[in-house]
Amino acid sequence: MEQNSRLEGVLQGARLPSMPHVLLEIYDLLHSEVAGVEQIVALLESDTGLAARTLRLANSACYGRAEPVSRVARAVLRVGPFDLWWLLFTTEVKNLFFGIDSRLMNMELFWRHSLFTACASREISGWHQIGRPGDLFVAGLLHDVGKLLLLQRMPVEYGALLADTDDAATLVQRERGEFGFTHAQAGGRLLAHWRMPELLVAAASRHHDASPGDGGPAVVALANRLAHEVLDERPAASPETVEPALVEAAQADYEALIGRIL
């Protein structure tokens, strides 16, 4: 209870950043058995900013063809509904936290870690048939969003803590000791505010303390450790639970996608 009240105290000074309702509605449509591309296109066209970003993405170097697209419907088909959604969502998250001082945290490294965690989550989900791979990809992508929220709300205190901490486990311990809550709890709170599914809220909230039988949160917790091991070149924490081919698949997925968010 004390941890929750201290977290609320940090968050209550100003409104939590809001996510465009169109992106939330599209996420719901992607999980509907009756929804079609036409409905997604209609929602995107109802928001001129998202429509413009959709066209820019479809005509970017990653997707650009000889003939540029000028209609949202063709852009959605070129990029693919799910890939388009997570790219737009990631762009929106970046915009919401644009003012964070780059001296407090290297944002390129942050997004590299987030994307590798997303790719590893998707691969683990598919290999072990836990949840839906697409959902676990999004959960992995957003697992550390609480760090952005804390840097926005308490830049001096949290920035100093990040600068003085070398590894994730120590970071969580120090967050609890100094603030009474963790970036994982803050991230879960933000995703709940955005009305994201419970899986995403739970994965963000528990990616440092999920147990092996916890389903989606356990997948993201393992993917998070793999991301640190691979990108930070740390010794493997749990080699007996991860097939080498799975790690190779996650790396290939990551390398194919990294240019689309940086």
Q: Which tens digit of pLDDT belongs to each residue from 248-258?
A: 999 999 999 99
Domains of the chain, each with CATH number or no CATH: 1-12+97-262 (1.10.3210.10), 18-89 (no CATH)
Asked whether the predicted pLDDT for residue 16 surpasses 90, the reply is no
pTM as predicted: 0.92
Average pLDDT of the residues in 111-137: 95
Average pLDDT of the residues in 122-149: 96
Asked whether the predicted pLDDT for residue 1 surpasses 50, the reply is no
Cα–Cα dist 137/262, whole Å: 17
Residue 85, pLDDT score: 97
Cα separations in angstroms, 194 against 25, 93, 182, 183 = 11, 11, 19, 16
Q: In the 8-state DSSP scheme, what is residue 63?
A: T
Cα–Cα dist 84/77, whole Å: 9
Cα–Cα dist 179/175, whole Å: 5
Identify the band that residue 232 occupies on the pLDDT scale cut at 50, 70 and 90.
confident
Identify the band that residue 93 occupies on the pLDDT scale cut at 50, 70 and 90.
very high
DSSP 91-147: HHHHHHTTTS-TTTS-HHHHHHHHHHHHHHHHHHHHHHT-S-HHHHHHHHHHTTHHH
Residue 81, pLDDT score: 95
Q: Specify whether the CB–CB gap between 40 and 29 falls below 8 A.
A: yes
